[in-house]
Amino acid sequence: MNTIARQPIIEVRDLCVGYKNRSVLRDLSFTCRSGEFISLLGPNGAGKTTLLRTLSRHLPPQAGDIRVQGRPLEQLSAMELARIMAVVLTEKIAPPLFTVFEFVAIGRYPHTDSLGRLAPKDRVAVTSALAAVHALDLADRPFANLSDGERQKVLMARALAQEPQILLLDEPTIHLDLKHRVEVMAILRDLCRSKGITVIASLHDVDVAAKVSDRVALIRDGGIMAWGPPETVLGGQAVTTLYEFDKAEFNRHLGGIELKSGGNRGRAFVVGGMGSGALVYRLLAKKDFAIATGVVHSNDLDCFVARSLGAECVAVGPMEKINGAALEQARMLLADCDLVVDSGFPVGPVNEANLALLQTALDCGKPMLCLRDGLPPGLAANGTHRPMFCADAGRLIENLEALVVPIHTQEV
């Protein structure tokens, strides 16, 4: 499949979609090629479903044209279209007294004779559709008794029984548990790869979409804000604009969304680096601390997480030895903080300076939480003030809870 040059299968030009007297999306132009996984992303009500309904001809376009396999969509007969395109909708359906096999067999509609009798090739197609969604074991179960996740898979099998080249899915993972969410996405990706089916799905999980899609369409404000491979289109800023994030940020490198802290419980300075700080930052953000951190390297996991969480982050270039200027900047940030956390970073030649940062913290008597069993060699506690050593994240949380309240009241 991959060796064949990928043909455009859907071409959309200057398309306007909407309902009778309400335009939803305007001037859309894009091309989908066979075997591509295309995700439509955007906030609720942006028009993802309307676009899908227009592509599946449930809704006439207001303007512009759609070509399927080079032919105008409106010229295809219902049967021709059914052999090219299948849909999975969000509408809940529960026809009574159908076994899963019989239900999926209804999808053979465009291929069976006038009475809908199943020929041997139809049985094979139904069986392989069930196999493609890993649901062969459900074949004899009553359709009405399936769980949400199983039902979604069977709905996909019904669509596959049509043997389509294009599969349109409206929010295929909504209401599903994590297992089925992952399974459904994996199935869809396999369909693109092994059967060369073009999948167009509206999705809610940006992180998942970024990982499986060949192309994404960011839909917002009556149009496509961006269209292209997620690797170029799905930047943190684009996602923030798309969903109007206020307290969250999507990070392309991390492939996930970080929830920012409100910063209402005081400021914490984290001495981190080498990936040791990521968990600590997230924990502090969750506990509503404002975060400052240093000194980390700009290619460090910690740096990505800290920046996504909106932390003040002192960073030096990749592999660089931490220099005096950065250290000085970190010291100034540290001086403003109510609390210092030592993430337990491994010490090496490039980040030895961070030990000096820890010593500064010890010297100025800030409350200090240390994710180690004891102080690293060369550091000394200042008088009676000793850091709290936390063996694991659990101890860290307990100490944080115990420690923080007075600081917070002081601030107010």
Partner 1 sequence: MTTSDLCLQETRPLLLRRAPLVFALLGCLSLVLMLLNVGIGSVPFSPAEIWQALGQTSEASTTGFIIWNIRIPRAIAAVFGGAYLAASGLLLQIYFKNPIVGPYILGISSGATLMVSFVMLTSVTVGWTLFTPFISTLAAFAGAYGVMLIVLAIANRVKGGVTLLIVGLMMGYLCGAVSAILTAFAEKDKIKGFVLWQLGSFSGFKWDEIWLLLAAGGAILVLLYLQSKPLNAFLLGEEYAASMGVDIRRFRFLILLCACALAGMVTSMAGPVAFIGMAVPHMARLSFGTSDNRILIPGACLMGGLVASLCDLIARTVMAPVELPLSAITAFFGAPIVISLLLKRRVKL
Q: Which residues bind partner 1 (CB under 8 A)?
A: 56-58, 77-79, 81-83, 85-87, 89, 91, 93, 95-99, 101-102, 106-107, 109-110, 112, 114-116, 123-124, 127-128, 131, 136, 139-140, 158, 162
What whole-number distance in Å separates Cα of residue 44 and Cα of residue 222?
Answer: 12
Nearer to partner 1, 136 or 381 (CB): 136
Residue 177's φ and ψ, nearest 5 degrees, are: -75, 170
Other CB atoms within 10 Å distance of the CB of residue 230: 23
Minimum Å gap between C-beta 60 and partner 1 is 13
Nearer to partner 1, 106 or 257 (CB): 106
Q: Strand order of the sheet with strand 37-41?
A: 85-88, 166-170, 198-202, 37-41, 215-220, 223-228
Minimum Å gap between C-beta 89 and partner 1 is 6
Nearer to partner 1, 132 or 188 (CB): 132
Residue 394 burial (10 A CB sphere; 0-12, 13-18, 19+) = exposed
Minimum Å gap between C-beta 139 and partner 1 is 6
What whole-number distance in Å separates Cα of residue 130 and Cα of residue 110?
Answer: 18
Minimum Å gap between C-beta 229 and partner 1 is 29
Would you call 59 helix, strand, or coil by DSSP? coil
What whole-number distance in Å separates Cα of residue 299 and Cα of residue 294?
Answer: 13
Nearer to partner 1, 87 or 309 (CB): 87
Minimum Å gap between C-beta 285 and partner 1 is 43
Minimum Å gap between C-beta 124 and partner 1 is 6
Nearer to partner 1, 124 or 182 (CB): 124
Nearer to partner 1, 72 or 318 (CB): 72
What whole-number distance in Å separates Cα of residue 128 and Cα of residue 108?
Answer: 12
Tokens of 273: 């680096």
